[in-house]
Structure 1
Amino acid sequence: MGNWLTIDYSCAPCSPIADNKAEVVKRSCMLRQVSLGKLGLVVGGLITIVGFVAYFIDNPTLNLVGFFYGIPLLLGGLALTAAELKPVPYTQPTSPEVVALRQQQATATQNQVRQDITRYRYGQSAHLDTALERLGLAPTDEERPIVKGVRETQIDGAYGLILEFDSPFVTLEQWQKKQDKMESFFGPGIRIEVTQPTEDEIEIAMIAASSQGTSS
């Protein structure tokens, strides 16, 4: 499965400035793909174990450090894991040509949506939950469409971000009625296309309406 940041990094121009920028982008991607909950569990667990070992070998300094730092980190990791929302996966690799098109045309909103749904989130019940509620596409938490995949593509020469929803309770007709509202909500500079590839599935294409965008 493709990763947009990996492709961005490999396509960076061969210059010191570009290399430095690519390294920053690569590290930023890695941080977004790290689960803070799991990190807290691992680090907190290791420090807590050190504290227990120090207790049995009668090392009060390490024992204090282990309990004072390890247990809070462990509990924090458990809390974050319970509130964790996993990144939405890419359903196809993003080609270098589409990455270049994104850098030329993507709007700030397209970039923000892509970055938000492809990283770990905390304290949210679902990706884009607030947006769907404001658009009137989430009657209840149980009936809310779920973003299950994302991909980037070229549509008639324009950059397109495709959001793939599992939508068994919100029909194609309901989505289509909100098309103008979605263009206003996610705009300016975005055209929305709504399709239904299979039953209970909806795809929302966020298409750059002009060549003026914000690269990322």
Structure 2
Amino acid sequence: MADVFGKALQDYHQGKYTEDITTYSSLDEKDSIPLPYLFRDYDQMPILERKALALAKGRVLDIGCCAGVHSLYLQKKGMDVTGLDSSAGVITVCKERGLKSTVNSSIEDFKGDSFDTLLLLMNGIGLAGTLDNLSSFLQHLASLLRPNGQILLDSSDIIYMFDQDEDGGYWIPDSGKYYGEVTFTLEYKKQKSIPFEWLYLDYNTLFNACLSNGLVCELVSSGEHYDYLARLTKK
């Protein structure tokens, strides 16, 4: 499988930036992920990310750490933080940027350790893939928490991407799937990733899933565009 993210981040880190990552989605949209944004500093982070970093405590696991912007910020503050990513190239970049503790693994395969804070930023809950997989995903995250630990995640309700009728209702295709389930393919320098599932989760659906899995879900903050930051704790 082509390590599209890893290759792109390594190129940027090595001063070989010539293009961004192109994304293709099942929403019939072609978009791009600007590489400089993945290396942003604290001042360039959205307010929801800054709030999450302010709430981080104790031993932290940054899940899907990408270029390590959140991990490195917390490390500079003297916190004990580990960056986890399934991309070997991404982890190489994090190490070269000075992140002391890293793990090259998918979150599903990561076991046997515990943390006070799990960070899933940049829509990190999307790693669950599908709504059917959400319960087992949340249970696995909960198994990594220390007593009084917390999960900090942001996501977006993508209902706004669908057409609206005069009564304010939305026209959602009857595909049998939750409307926040999106299939993505990434492309960088003519290399394509295999298609993968990503989950955008509205807050009420997250809240109910937490309720079903023994977790308390608290809405910390709402963004300006259907996005939000949530804090999950064990009951």
Q: Which is greater in Rg? A: 1
**TM-score for both structures, normalised by structure 1:** 0.30
Q: Higher helix fraction: Structure 1 or Structure 2? A: 1
**TM-score for both structures, normalised by structure 2:** 0.28
